[in-house]
Chain A
Amino acid sequence: QQKVQQSPESLSVPEGGMASLNCTSSDRNFQYFWWYRQHSGEGPKALMSIFSDGDKKEGRFTAHLNKASLHVSLHIRDSQPSDSALYFCAANYNQGKLIFGQGTKLSIKP
């Protein structure tokens, strides 16, 4: 069964610092990786997707994919208190079906 493993489970970063989140797929037959963010009491919102090796940057967020190691990471620079949330990695293996990781709880300390 395809699985997505995220680490760490929780992370605390000072305001203005860099937050780094990790995700590994159990199966190399993925098409896309997605990063979603969920604030308390809300549904998840998509941050970005990546399917090519290398970096993809959107504002303060950079995703890095290494297909050979089945690993994707998300880096948030200049972290803000509003970045405190639950972050999910998800992989597209089959059409329309996303497999989500367990999530990383990020706390930004002022």
Chain B
Amino acid sequence: GGIITQTPKFLIGQEGQKLTLKCQQNFNHDTMYWYRQDSGKGLRLIYYSITENDLQKGDLSEGYDASREKKSSFSLTVTSAQKNEMAVFLCASSRQDQDTQYFGPGTRLLVL
């Protein structure tokens, strides 16, 4: 088995602030993902990475940057937080693409 750890659990930011979310996995999976979950909507893919130093844009990449410096970690940066923004950011990993994705518990973002 393995686990995905996301930090922080809660993140409160100010409008215009740059915010970084971190994700670590010990499954030794090749592929990692970042999703955004808004209330009443499904998960939307922001970025994914099929191997270390690889980055692929999802449908919601505008306003975000990502970084995969090593196999076990994947970071997401909100480049300029939007006022009243509230969402849950979920990190996931899979052995390879098309395999089962395993999700972390999420980072809850609130922008004041």
Contact = CB atoms under 8 A, between A and B. Distances in A.
Interface of A: 4, 6, 31-32, 34, 41-46, 49, 88, 90, 92, 95-98, 100-103
Interface residues of B, number: 25
A42 B48 contact: no
22 contacts: A6-B42, A31-B98, A32-B98, A34-B100, A41-B105, A42-B105, A43-B105, A44-B43, A45-B103, A46-B100, A90-B42, A95-B98, A96-B31, A96-B48, A97-B48, A97-B58, A97-B97, A98-B45, A100-B43, A101-B42, A102-B41, A103-B42
B98 A92 contact: yes
A69 B50 CA distance: 32
Contact of B42 (A34, A46, A100): A100
Contact of A43 (B41, B45, B92): B92
A17 to B, nearest CB: 25
Closest 10 CB pairs of A and B: A96-B97, A43-B103, A100-B42, A100-B43, A46-B100, A95-B97, A102-B42, A44-B103, A43-B104, A43-B105
B56 interface: yes
Contacts of B67: none
Contacts of A98: 43, 45, 101
Contacts of B102: 45-46
Contact of B100 (A4, A49, A103): A49
